[in-house]
Amino acid sequence: MNADEVSAQLLEYLGGKDNIRSNMACMTRLRVGVKDMSKVSVDKLKSVEGVLGVVEADTIQIVFGPGKSGKILEAFSKLTGIGKSMVSDSASYVAKVNKDALKAKHNKPLQRFFKRIADIFIPLLPGIIAAGLINGLTNVINVSSNGMLSGIWWYECIRTMGWAMFAYLSAFVGYNAAAQFGGSPILGGIAGAICIANSAMPLLSKFNDQEVILPMTGAVYNPSNGGLIAAMIAGMFFAWIEKKIRKVMPEVLDTFISPLLVLIIGGLSIVIVIQPVGAILTEGIYIAMDYIYGSLGAAGGFILSAGFLPLVAVGLHQALIPIHTLLNDPSGPTAGINYLLPILMMSGGGQVGAGIALYLKTKNKKLRRLIRDSIPVGILGVGEPLMYAVTLPLGRSFITACVGAGFGGVMASLFHIGTTTQGVSGLFGLLIVEPGQQIKYIIAMLCAYIGGFLLTWFFGVDEERINAVYGE
């Protein structure tokens, strides 16, 4: 089969170059978007050498079989002059399409706000993950070796890297918050730096043996009051006030006066208003977490793990990223141990169990292929292909997967599993759970697998729905 000759015939039968608006390929098909279907000769397309079939949908899909469509696209796109766009029938592609559609459907102000909040912390995750691992590992080394490496320069250098991330995390948060909300990042960084304790800070100095007393509260300044929440609000406020000031500031004075006013007005606002508000919000978060985790116990674990993926589906899970960061802060009430994350990680286990049940029970070949592609990465902790391409489109299977995951959440709660950092899930979660809890983590995850499998096997497989979604 000569790709150039075949492409020339295809172009003719598709109505010519002027009738083509897009061309792309998947593993088996050339997909062509046309402007006028009346100019397309489907019968003649079927007669072209190598064509196994033609499907009329939102695009003209010309079936060539594995390994051939890419070569045809290469030649076809040269004739049309339109850039080629490779797509895929794989689970990751289907998942992306479904995810984008769902995000568009739920693209409400609340979701967009939480996304902006998440975008403050997401760039910090590499540092948080690495520093958390350093802190966890060095703590284990210190205890198990009775401090044998203490005082050795390279070991203390590594420990310093773990310490530095969390010691100056407020400044990083303030910096990103200001940038995310349209302000000068460095001004936001200064706002966050006010929330870092340093004995050289003038507010912490003594004058005539007297400490600096704040108005209204009559208390001594506490830099950590409000923690990361205060730093985030401060960065957002600095961005807001900067934009307001620059709107009215004469251009000749803007470079000097605007940032000066931002720091003066913003600094006073942090101490008097923002930090107390941040403290209230932080305390509220810890009270809520303590109630769900401590008072509700196993029931709380079930609710959190079963309800997490519905939050993911509508984009509200992003509100939890700052909470995870708070819980992994060594200076926080949990001493850097995150007891929430392992419970939520069980949600992926329920999806894997549901996927296995569907694979074994359904006769739909396309669904089986999607599951086959999704299961391995799902086990490793990448659950999007399995959720968006398999369970969520089926509805009932998504529900049974979520409920099944709840059993893993119960075990994670009962075992009091904690993580020293964040950023991974699934099997890779073994890398971040507290040392000595790996076996408990595996048991909890297996419970999530089994729960998702059994509930989906008995209640979550609807072959009629499957065929309607994926075709017979």
Cβ count near 89 (within 10 Å) = 14
Q: Cβ(220)–Cβ(212) under 8 Å?
A: yes
Residue 206 parent element (H or E): strand 206-207
Q: Cβ(460)–Cβ(401) under 8 Å?
A: yes
Cβ count near 64 (within 10 Å) = 24
Residue 238 parent element (H or E): helix 227-248
Beta-bridged to residue 31, according to DSSP, are 24, 61
Query: Whole-angstrom Cα distance, residue 332 to residue 271?
Result: 20
Owner of token pair 């709107």: 247
Pairing of strands 20-25, 206-207: unpaired
Query: Whole-angstrom Cα distance, residue 386 to residue 372?
Result: 10
CB proximity list for 333: less than 8 A, separation 6 or greater: 286
Query: Whole-angstrom Cα distance, residue 34 to residue 204?
Result: 70
Query: Whole-angstrom Cα distance, residue 64 to residue 74?
Result: 14
**Phi and psi angles of residue 335, each rounded to the nearest 5 degrees, phi first:** 55, 35
Query: Whole-angstrom Cα distance, residue 302 to residue 403?
Result: 8
Q: Which residue type is seen at 471? A: G
Beta-bridged to residue 32, according to DSSP, are 23, 60
End-to-end CA distance of the chain: 30
Point out the catalytic residue in the list 26, 195, 402, 447.
26
Q: Cβ(268)–Cβ(208) under 8 Å?
A: no
DSSP single-letter state for residue 305: H
Owner of token pair 């918050």: 177
> In a 10 Å sphere around its CB, with 0-12 CB exposed, 13-18 middle and 19+ buried, how is residue 283 labelled?
middle
Query: Whole-angstrom Cα distance, residue 151 to residue 397?
Result: 55
Length of the chain: 472
Residue 26 catalytic? Answer: yes
Q: Which residue type is seen at 109? A: P
Active site residues: 26
